[in-house]
Amino acid sequence: MSLQEKLQGALDPLRKELEEALVLTSKEKKKTTEWQRKVKNKRETIVGEFNKLHTLLREEEQLLLQRLEEEERETLQRLRENVTKLSQQSSSLQQLITEIEEKCQQPVVKLLTDVKSALSRSENVKLQEPEAVSTDLKNVYKIPERCLDMREMLKRFEGEWKLLGHSAVLCLEIWTEPGTPGHSCTQLTGLELCDSWRLMRSVLGSLPDIRNH
């Protein structure tokens, strides 16, 4: 067999290998595209779910702050009214005391003409006690149970992050209905994991520690 025939014989296997390589390349490109689509959808789901949690937490926070502000305003008004009334009584008492002290320095003849009025007013003085105003905060500022449940759910999310070399597996429980968890797992690159991790940590940081309640 000539050298040319040997070379020609080597071409057929090479062409088959090339054809197989092209087919595999096409498949891998399709897998890459599909993978990127899955990651994109998962990222949007994660961001969407955490945005819902942020919104709910902000609403609950504003509701509690509004209640606290209303209680602060009402209690402060009552306390200030007490201070105003007591200040007025103190002023009247001080005037009466000053008047009687001045009369004590007057001659007896002059005292006989107007002492009865001063004595009568002094006998009728009775300090009005201030309205009893409680300064204990009402027991309406506890974190709602759904927010505490949310915190526990986020803690589970945090515990399910597992780094595997240069990639990561993210397993998140997405609650489709109250009390009905659906489990979804996908892989994220290190950079994508960091972005999602920062988002999750920001939500966890916005929640109060339930051990303090």
Domain boundaries, the chain: 65-139, 145-212
DSSP per-residue string spanning 24-53: HHHHHHHHHHHHHHHHHHHHHHHHHHHHHH
Q: pLDDT confidence of 135, banded at 50, 70, 90? A: confident
Q: Long-range contacts made by residues 111-119, C-beta under 8 angstroms, separation at least 24? A: none
> What is the residue-averaged pLDDT of the chain?
74
- 58 or 147, higher pLDDT: 58
Between 140 and 16, the more confident residue is: 16
Q: Assess whether pLDDT exceeds 70 at residue 80.
A: yes
The yes-or-no verdict on residue 209 having pLDDT over 50 is no
Per-residue confidence band for 169, with pLDDT thresholds at 50, 70 and 90: very low
Task: Give whichever of 21-25, 88-92, 130-134, 187-191 has the largest mean pLDDT.
Answer: 21-25
pLDDT at 41 over 70: yes
More confident residue, 162 or 123: 123
Q: What was the pLDDT predicted at 79?
A: 94
| Per-residue tokens: 43 | 């990222």
Q: 199: phi > 0 → left, psi -120 to 50 → alpha, else beta; which?
A: alpha
What are the start-end ranges of the E strands in 42-120? none
